[in-house]
Amino acid sequence: PKQEEAIEKPTEDSLAAKYHHQPLVTDLFTADPSAHVFEGKIYIYPSHDIQTDVAQDDMGSHFDMKDYHVFSMEKSGGPVTDHGVALALEDIPWASRQLWAPDAAEKDGKYYLYFPAKDKEGIFKIGVASSDKPSGPFRAEPQPISGTFSMDPAVFQEGSDYFLIWGGIWGGQLQWYEDQKLVPGRDGQLTGLPEAEEPALIPYISKLGGDMKSLSEKPKEIQILDESGNPIKAGDNKRRFFEAAWMHKLGDTYYLSYSTGDTHFIAYATGDNPYGPFTYRGNVLNPVEGWTNHHSIVEFEGKWYLFYHDTQLSGDTPLRNIKMAELTHNPDGTIQTVDAMRK
């Protein structure tokens, strides 16, 4: 009987060997995995990539997704359960297209899905939908969250405080804003990007209201500084913020990680509170196959995991597949860079 049990129940090591750095989902294309531990399991909230006829451009028009699926795993690495469609574009009253990278949070037994979509005018906003279960289905609010703009929301929870962090340049439209207001006439795709010697555009943060559906304060910019304490410049493409902000905390250190976009790294910076400033420290993840790089970092049963995507299954940038790998924090607070290409 002992042997049978061993056959039926794979060990942690065999699961790790099978799934780590392998696509977690193979019958759908999935990307931008935001992972959380809810009800003792890992839940993953990714984008659901689909084949479209939309031509590729600098604004990511080819990422034309229409719904979200939620996935869960009882063990690190798998097996993976697909809980089906959790939210569809046609059920979001204010949205017109492009369901990009989502995230989720739990409060008092309710679950909240935060997602970016273009409104009827083609402007990215961040919406919220709620459910009694982590797997959904989620019911969307009739309007986007007031005061939000751009895309790639991530929620960082600390005790009873929940922070919404977001933003992205190029297709994420952050370059169209000044003082959080859309600048009229800035509809040239990349119009508004700072010059190379100017400070780069940076992500935003705001504490969520008690209802989890509103911002409780005016959003603030999260400063990302170099080793001399100066803001990272727009021309510093290997270190500057592009999109895909994520926050986690280990000990007293807050980690802000993000994609550098056109240089394809997941970089990270550390700080001593969620609002920053953060100081650039290095890379969490080297470039992966495909143009985009987008990740999340979560602790599960005493180990840290990196969730990310590449294009192993399709070889095509808009058709991605999510993966996971173990992540190691060094005693000095740095993170060991993951090199997905070598696995």
Which residues contribute to the site for ligand FUB (CB under 6 A)? 31-32, 47, 60, 63, 100-101, 151-152, 243-244, 292, 294
**Distance between CA atoms of residues 206 and 147, nearest Å:** 10
Place of tokens 């990196």: 306
Distances (CA, A) of 238 to 14, 68, 218, 243, 264: 36, 31, 30, 13, 8
Residues 6+ apart with CB under 8 A from 67: 48, 85, 86, 87, 88, 89, 99
- Minimum CB separation from ligand FUB for residue 175, in Å? 15
Residues 6+ apart with CB under 8 A from 87: 67, 68, 99, 113, 115, 129, 136, 137, 138, 140
Which C-beta is closer to ligand FUB: that of 243 or that of 289? 243
Token pair of 312 as six digits: 């192993």
- Minimum CB separation from ligand FUB for residue 127, in Å? 14
Which C-beta is closer to ligand FUB: that of 260 or that of 270? 260
- Choose the catalytic residue: 32, 103, 106, 310: 32
Give 159's Cβ-side CA count (13 Å radius).
2
Residue 55 DSSP class:
P
Would you say 256 and 249 are in contact if contact means Cβ atoms under 8 Å apart?
Answer: no
Burial (CB < 10 A; 0-12, 13-18, 19+), residue 312, is middle
Which C-beta is closer to ligand FUB: that of 16 or that of 86? 86
- Choose the catalytic residue: 49, 103, 106, 243: 243
Quote the distance between the C-alpha of residue 269 and its chain's center.
16
- Minimum CB separation from ligand FUB for residue 167, in Å? 10
- Minimum CB separation from ligand FUB for residue 16, in Å? 25
Which C-beta is closer to ligand FUB: that of 16 or that of 260? 260
Which C-beta is closer to ligand FUB: that of 79 or that of 122? 122
Residues 6+ apart with CB under 8 A from 81: 71, 72, 73
Determine the residue type at 298: V
Q: Order across the sheet with 321-327: list the strands.
A: 296-300, 303-310, 321-327
- Minimum CB separation from ligand FUB for residue 261, in Å? 9
- Minimum CB separation from ligand FUB for residue 2, in Å? 45
Phi, then psi, of 16 in degrees rounded to 5: -60, -45
243 classed as catalytic = yes
Which C-beta is closer to ligand FUB: that of 16 or that of 148? 148
Q: What amino acid positions are annotated as catalytic residues? A: 32, 243
